[in-house]
Amino acid sequence: MASVPPTPSARAPFRTGAAAAVPIWLAFVPTSFALGLAARAYGLGLGEVLLMSAFVYAGPAQFAALEPLASAKPAAQVILTTLLINLRFAVMSAAIAPYFRGVGRTRRLLAAHVLSASSFVLPFAHFQRQGALPAEGGARADEGRRNLDYYLGIGLTSFVVWVVGSGAGYLAALTVPAAFGEALRFLLPGYFASLLTIELRRGPAMGVAAASFLAALPAAHLWGDWGWLGSAVAIGTAALLAERWIRARS
């Protein structure tokens, strides 16, 4: 496998990563701004929004937490929902880990916090294009460190944009007339629906999302907040079992 070309200085990979992250920043600005606007509409404080953006740093989970936080739903429900929505990070973290081979555990653990869907896809695709998988045994630990610096150039700068953007959105919402409150509250489901539409235009996952959407209201009506959570988990599980059954028959 080809190695990454030598870089002129230790900082170069970080700067290269930061330059590559510009499209992510452009995508993060309106989304984080919308999060700040929506958080304001749900009655959260600026400190709470910034705290969530800085320490949770996960758009869909943050959007999903706004309504339950505003209506003082049980913490266990909010945390479980966050856990389930963010489980995808485990897959991303596991996929990118081999590219940081040779890097100390502390740096890897600190760097893990700025992992997002965007800050995973960009460096992962870059490493694959470059054939940048360091050799086993620590013989090429420098490559692992360069990869981590490149990843941090993307992840750290995108993280800052996200936190600042959500704060700016919140402050901007203070100037929005009350008549637009209903429109602001649509930002959360509107963002999710748009995201799912784009992500799932092809494939069976669109059917999973549609089934979960339709089942959520009756489940919530019958069993309260745990009802829609349970129905979503049941439908996700059923989808996987159905997929396996279809594969076994074909």
Partner 1 sequence: MDTRTVLTIAGMAAVTYLIRSLPQLVLGDRRIPTGLDRYLRYLAHALIAAVIAVSLFLARGRIETEAAPARAAALAAAIVVAAWSGRPVLGMVAGAAVVAAFAA
Nearer to partner 1, 122 or 208 (CB): 208
In whole angstroms, what is the distance from residue 226 CA to residue 222 CA? 10
Q: How far is the CB of 141 from partner 1 (least distance, A)?
A: 14
Nearer to partner 1, 2 or 198 (CB): 198
Residue 250 has what DSSP assignment? -
Report whether 92 contacts 123 (CB < 8 A): no
Residue 97 has what DSSP assignment? G
Q: How far is the CB of 9 from partner 1 (least distance, A)?
A: 26
Nearer to partner 1, 9 or 250 (CB): 250
Q: CB count, 10 Å around CB of 6?
A: 8
In whole angstroms, what is the distance from residue 6 CA to residue 82 CA? 40
In whole angstroms, what is the distance from residue 18 CA to residue 4 CA? 18
Distance from first CA to last CA of the chain, Å, rounded?
A: 36
Q: How far is the CB of 152 from partner 1 (least distance, A)?
A: 14
Q: Position of tokens 């402050």?
A: 171
Report whether 25 contacts 161 (CB < 8 A): yes
Nearer to partner 1, 4 or 58 (CB): 58
Q: How far is the CB of 139 from partner 1 (least distance, A)?
A: 14
User: Which residues are CB-neighbours of 33 under 8 A, at least 6 positions away?
Assistant: 165, 166, 168, 169, 172
Q: How far is the CB of 233 from partner 1 (least distance, A)?
A: 7
Nearer to partner 1, 12 or 211 (CB): 211
- Torsion angle of alpha carbons 162, 116, 14, 53, nearest 10°? 30
**172 residue type, one letter:** A
Q: How far is the CB of 8 from partner 1 (least distance, A)?
A: 28
Nearer to partner 1, 112 or 160 (CB): 112
Q: How far is the CB of 32 from partner 1 (least distance, A)?
A: 11
Nearer to partner 1, 11 or 238 (CB): 238
